[in-house]
């Protein structure tokens, strides 16, 4: 729900000076606002001296809720730190507490405050879309805003689950998956028709009415009518067999097998429940795992695990409530949500979810019966996922401790940044930064840098201004931009965004460039090293060049630390290569005409229709260009000069 739908009035934001470690100043800031705070529902924001949002909270009574922060001794250590850093507060009043809960979820999603319990997985869920507005609708995988016309079925927990279901739809209902453009230009059936996965409507192998029957069956299947469809196929198979039409009978047999296969994969079904989510939480050892199962039309559409941050010293009911608020801020709630533990404000949460869904939503915590069995199954999965995460965390911690020994660090590194560049002969150069820590790769912290160009050091020059293969200048630009910005935005290094260790993919040359950047910026408290393949570029004999320019370290081939470093280096390489390929693909798909000044879509279309292609436009003379509809003499000269800057 967008914020503009929530009636509100903002309070003043008065910045007051504060000092880290001085809780009294933070309390005084809060006390100043208490004098004018209303007793109505609303949302409050705690803000630090730099203007960053520290915490977002909701309240049925703003004044009663905020006054609790004036007694920091009664709060957890996390909240005490937040009070200490508070330099200002902002308030938004709402009509109801449900509106406050929705607004709180939106603000947490927008600002990602460091003291809120955060849902870190921001990926949207995939759906299956059966399009409309065409005589022969297509069935396809869809993720993101539901702007296309058609019927959406889901959400599915993973792309794998969607692909499995799409495969069934192709085998059982023979629906097309090709785009409208491909469909309109086919002259003969494609391979999918040959392997009996498409009815080939593009070449008239099936009539529009028969195809619409297949579409209706697919919609019925996705809406939970698989058993009825299977019985209908079985009846038609028998009829075809009795009529000695064995090939037709075999086709129905294959379609029945496809339906049976997907039904067999539903390990747990919820009879009598049309659509529901099951949310179970398990907490142990300072880590909380939340498991979400999606049930639609009584069938299990898969599950996903979440590990909220900032939840170490918070009880499960409070974590569940915060999780659900953020989770359903980005996806529409189903009719029923089953939870493993009662939350403090069940009725309020149900009301807020109903507003979000535009329909009545129930939040239930079953204690017995079949629905409790589903909860217990989700809890068992949460415990297993929690155990795996604990084991991974322990293993990751041991690897980080070994890195501390290898690099002679003062402490176990909490944040490692790895850098790599990718380009083709100096063109479309992209720098990649990946981040790893105690919980593995921190993908939300990854960054890519479009390298703008630096003075080449000699040799053949690429189109972006670099000497072909001048990785050193590229690395210098990336590191300079990254750490210059860090110095501007967080000179005191209090945000947790500064690395303990910087790894560069390369040898002594890359390391020298990194040291030069750090020296120019006055950074002397971050360890920096480079990792390069060994003799003859042997991937099993990497050499590590340390920042103190000591002799290279060569770890044993089976050393776990070496494997860990290889994983870090390979992930940085994968990320940089992927970013470069995306940029190159966009450049290839862009027309030669896209960047010409004063040539918009209409004029570009006229040029393409007149000349047949962008290359012909580039070779055309001034008079030929002027003969194009919508192109006057002045613009024809500009277009010609664009392609012929020297004459």
Task: Read off the DSSP letter of residue 306.
Answer: E
In a domain, 605, yes or no: yes
Mean pLDDT check: name the lowest of 129-133, 389-393, 418-422, 448-452: 389-393
> Mean pLDDT, to the nearest integer, of 467-478?
74
In a domain, 40, yes or no: yes
Q: 287-296 and 275-284 as β-strands: parallel, antiparallel, unpaired? A: antiparallel
| 180 and 142 in a common domain | yes
Mean pLDDT check: name the lowest of 8-12, 147-151, 300-304, 481-485: 8-12
For 631, phi and psi rounded to 5 degrees? -110, 110
Residue 320 CA to residue 289 CA, distance in Å, equals: 10
What is the model's pLDDT at position 319? 87
Which band of pLDDT confidence, cut at 50, 70 and 90, is reported for residue 502?
A: very high
Copy the structure tokens of residue 119.
């849902």
pTM: 0.49
What is the model's pLDDT at position 60? 85
Copy the structure tokens of residue 352.
């807020």
Q: 299-306 and 150-153 as β-strands: parallel, antiparallel, unpaired? A: unpaired
Which band of pLDDT confidence, cut at 50, 70 and 90, is reported for residue 433?
A: very high
Residue 407 CA to residue 545 CA, distance in Å, equals: 10
Q: Residue 368: which residues within 8 A CB-CB, separation 6 or more? A: none
Q: Are 349 and 321 in contact (CB under 8 A)?
A: yes
| 251 and 102 in a common domain | no
Residue 379 CA to residue 492 CA, distance in Å, equals: 43
| 252 and 131 in a common domain | yes
Cis before 393? omega within 30: no
Write down the H helix ranges in 288-428. Answer: 316-327, 346-357, 370-407
What percentage of the chain exceeds 90 in pLDDT? 4
pLDDT at residue 418 tops 90: yes
Residue 410 CA to residue 407 CA, distance in Å, equals: 9
Q: Residue 419: which residues within 8 A CB-CB, separation 6 or more? A: 431, 432, 433, 475, 478, 479, 502, 503, 504, 505, 572
413 or 314: which carries more pLDDT confidence?
413
| 576 and 465 in a common domain | yes
In a domain, 400, yes or no: no
In a domain, 32, yes or no: yes
Copy the structure tokens of residue 250.
């075999």
Range of the domain at 288: 275-387
For 229, phi and psi rounded to 5 degrees? -65, -40
Residue 118 CA to residue 52 CA, distance in Å, equals: 16
- Structure-derived torsion over alpha carbons of residues 405, 406, 412, 413, reported in degrees to the nearest 10: 170
Sign of CA dihedral 626, 632, 634, 638: negative
For 52, phi and psi rounded to 5 degrees? -80, 145
491 or 470: which carries more pLDDT confidence?
491
Residue 200 CA to residue 493 CA, distance in Å, equals: 62
> Mean pLDDT, to the nearest integer, of 445-468?
57
What is the model's pLDDT at position 479? 92
Sign of CA dihedral 150, 153, 157, 158: negative
Number of Cβ within 10 Å of residue 117's Cβ equals: 22
Residue 386 CA to residue 406 CA, distance in Å, equals: 30
In a domain, 382, yes or no: yes
> CA angle at residue 310 from 3 to 8, to 5 degrees?
20
In a domain, 595, yes or no: no
* Span 291-344, pLDDT tens digits: 888 887 666 676 788 888 777 778 888 888 888 888 887 788 888 899 999 988
Task: Read off the DSSP letter of residue 123.
Answer: P
For all residues of the chain together, what is the average pLDDT? 77
> Mean pLDDT, to the nearest integer, of 612-620?
75
Q: 336-339 and 362-364 as β-strands: parallel, antiparallel, unpaired? A: parallel
Examine the fold and report which residue of 347, 370, 387 is the final residue of a domain before the chain moves on.
387
> Mean pLDDT, to the nearest integer, of 81-107?
81
What is the model's pLDDT at position 349? 87
Residue 569 CA to residue 104 CA, distance in Å, equals: 39
Residue 260 CA to residue 252 CA, distance in Å, equals: 12
What is the model's pLDDT at position 645? 67
- 395 forms beta bridges with none
In a domain, 176, yes or no: yes
Copy the structure tokens of residue 55.
């915490």
pLDDT at residue 425 tops 60: no
Copy the structure tokens of residue 457.
């050091």
pLDDT at residue 134 tops 90: no
CATH at 44:
3.40.1440.10
> Mean pLDDT, to the nearest integer, of 557-577?
83
Q: Residues 206-222, buried b or exposed e (16+ Cβ, 10 A)?
A: beeeebeebbebbbbbb
Which band of pLDDT confidence, cut at 50, 70 and 90, is reported for residue 7?
A: very low
Residue 535 CA to residue 552 CA, distance in Å, equals: 12
| 441 and 569 in a common domain | yes
535 or 198: which carries more pLDDT confidence?
198
- What SS3 class is residue 337? strand
Examine the fold and report which residue of 264, 285, 302 is the final residue of a domain before the chain moves on.
264
What is the model's pLDDT at position 431? 86
Which band of pLDDT confidence, cut at 50, 70 and 90, is reported for residue 133?
A: confident
Mean pLDDT check: name the lowest of 210-224, 497-511, 619-633: 210-224
Q: Are 26 and 18 in contact (CB under 8 A)?
A: yes
CATH at 571:
3.30.420.340
236 or 625: which carries more pLDDT confidence?
625
Q: 336-339 and 275-284 as β-strands: parallel, antiparallel, unpaired? A: parallel
Tally of domains in the chain:
5
For 91, phi and psi rounded to 5 degrees? -135, 145
| 542 and 495 in a common domain | yes
pLDDT at residue 403 tops 50: yes
Residue 289 CA to residue 282 CA, distance in Å, equals: 5
Which band of pLDDT confidence, cut at 50, 70 and 90, is reported for residue 270?
A: low
pLDDT at residue 366 tops 50: yes
| 547 and 430 in a common domain | yes
What is the model's pLDDT at position 199? 85
Tell me which residue has tokens 């209908």. Answer: 232
Mean pLDDT check: name the lowest of 267-281, 321-335, 422-436: 267-281
| 339 and 236 in a common domain | no
Most confident of 89-93, 320-324, 465-469, 495-499: 320-324
Q: Residues 363-401, buried b or exposed e (16+ Cβ, 10 A)?
A: bebbeeeebeebbebbbebbeebbeebeeebeebeebbe
Length reported for the chain: 647
Residue 272 CA to residue 224 CA, distance in Å, equals: 11
Q: 416-424 and 501-505 as β-strands: parallel, antiparallel, unpaired? A: parallel
Angle between helices 370-407 and 560-589 (to 10 degrees): 100
What is the model's pLDDT at position 223? 65
| 353 and 231 in a common domain | no
For residue 77, what is the enclosing H or E element? helix 77-85
What percentage of the chain exceeds 70 in pLDDT? 79
> Mean pLDDT, to the nearest integer, of 415-434?
79
Q: Residues 538-575, buried b or exposed e (16+ Cβ, 10 A)?
A: eeeebbbbbbeeeeebebeeeeebbebbbebbebbbeb
Residue 217 CA to residue 258 CA, distance in Å, equals: 14
In a domain, 345, yes or no: yes
Residue 96 CA to residue 5 CA, distance in Å, equals: 13
For residue 280, what is the enclosing H or E element? strand 275-284
> Mean pLDDT, to the nearest integer, of 401-406?
86
| 498 and 468 in a common domain | yes
| 146 and 217 in a common domain | yes
What is the model's pLDDT at position 338? 92
Copy the structure tokens of residue 262.
């997907």
| 530 and 428 in a common domain | yes
């Amino acid at each position: 729900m967008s914020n503009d739908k929530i009636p509100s009035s903002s309070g003043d934001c008065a910045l007051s000076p504060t000092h880290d470690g001085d809780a009294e100043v933070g309390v005084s800031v809060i006390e100043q606002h208490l004098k004018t705070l209303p007793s109505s529902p609303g949302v409050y924001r705690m803000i630090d001296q730099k203007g960053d949002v520290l915490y977002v909270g909701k309240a049925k009574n703003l004044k009663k809720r905020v006054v609790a922060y004036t007694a920091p001794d009664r709060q957890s250590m996390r909240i005490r730190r937040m009070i200490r850093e508070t330099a200002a507060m902002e308030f938004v009043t709402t009509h109801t507490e449900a509106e406050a809960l929705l607004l709180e979820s939106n603000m947490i999603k927008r600002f990602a405050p460091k003291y809120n319990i955060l849902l870190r997985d921001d990926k949207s869920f995939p759906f299956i879309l059966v399009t409309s507005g065409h005589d022969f609708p297509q069935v396809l995988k869809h993720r993101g805003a539901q702007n296309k016309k058609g019927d959406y079925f889901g959400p599915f927990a993973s792309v794998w689950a969607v692909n499995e279901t799409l495969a069934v739809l192709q085998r059982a209902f023979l629906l097309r998956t090709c785009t409208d453009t491909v469909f309109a230009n086919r002259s003969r059936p494609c391979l999918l028709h040959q392997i009996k996965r498409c009815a080939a409507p593009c070449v008239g192998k099936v009539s529009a009415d028969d195809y619409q029957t297949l579409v209706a069956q697919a919609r019925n299947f996705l809406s939970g009518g698989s058993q009825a469809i299977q019985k209908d196929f079985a009846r038609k198979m028998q009829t075809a067999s009795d009529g000695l039409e064995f090939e037709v009978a075999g086709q129905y047999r294959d379609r029945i097998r496809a339906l049976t296969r997907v039904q067999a994969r539903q390990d747990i079904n919820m009879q009598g429940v049309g659509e529901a989510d099951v949310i179970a939480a398990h907490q142990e050892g300072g880590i909380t795992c939340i498991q979400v199962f999606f049930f639609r039309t009584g069938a299990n559409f898969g599950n996903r695990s979440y590990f909220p941050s900032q939840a170490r010293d918070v009880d499960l009911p409070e974590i569940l409530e915060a999780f659900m608020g953020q989770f359903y801020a980005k996806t529409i709630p189903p009719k029923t949500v089953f939870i493993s533990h009662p939350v403090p404000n069940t009725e309020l949460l149900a009301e807020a979810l109903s507003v979000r869904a535009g329909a009545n939503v129930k939040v239930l915590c079953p204690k017995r019966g079949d629905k409790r069995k589903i909860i217990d199954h989700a809890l068992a999965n949460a415990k297993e996922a929690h155990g795996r995460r604990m084991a991974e965390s322990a293993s990751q911690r041991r690897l980080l401790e070994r890195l501390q020994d290898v690099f002679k660090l003062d402490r176990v590194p909490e944040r490692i940044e790895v850098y790599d560049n990718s380009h083709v002969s100096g063109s479309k150069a992209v720098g990649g930064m990946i981040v790893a820590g105690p919980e593995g790769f921190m993908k939300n912290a990854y960054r890519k840098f479009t390298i703008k160009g630096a003075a080449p050091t000699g040799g053949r020059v690429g189109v972006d201004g670099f000497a072909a293969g001048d990785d050193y200048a590229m690395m210098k630009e990336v590191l300079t931009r990254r750490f210059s910005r860090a110095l501007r935005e967080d000179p005191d290094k209090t945000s947790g965004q500064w690395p303990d260790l910087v790894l560069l993919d390369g040898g002594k040359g890359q390391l020298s460039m990194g040291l030069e950047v750090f020296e120019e910026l006055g950074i002397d408290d971050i360890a920096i090293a480079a990792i390069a393949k060994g003799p003859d570029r042997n991937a099993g004999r990497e050499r590590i060049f340390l920042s103190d320019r000591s002799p290279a370290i060569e770890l044993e081939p089976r050393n776990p630390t070496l494997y860990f470093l290889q994983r870090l280096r390979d992930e940085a390489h994968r990320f940089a290569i992927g970013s470069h390929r995306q940029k190159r693909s966009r450049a290839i798909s862009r027309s030669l005409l896209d960047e010409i000044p004063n040539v918009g879509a209409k004029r570009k279309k006229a040029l393409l229709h007149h000349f047949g292609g962008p290359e012909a436009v580039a070779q055309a003379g001034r008079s030929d260009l002027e003969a194009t509809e919508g192109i006057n003499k002045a613009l024809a000269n500009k277009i010609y000069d664009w392609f012929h800057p020297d004459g």
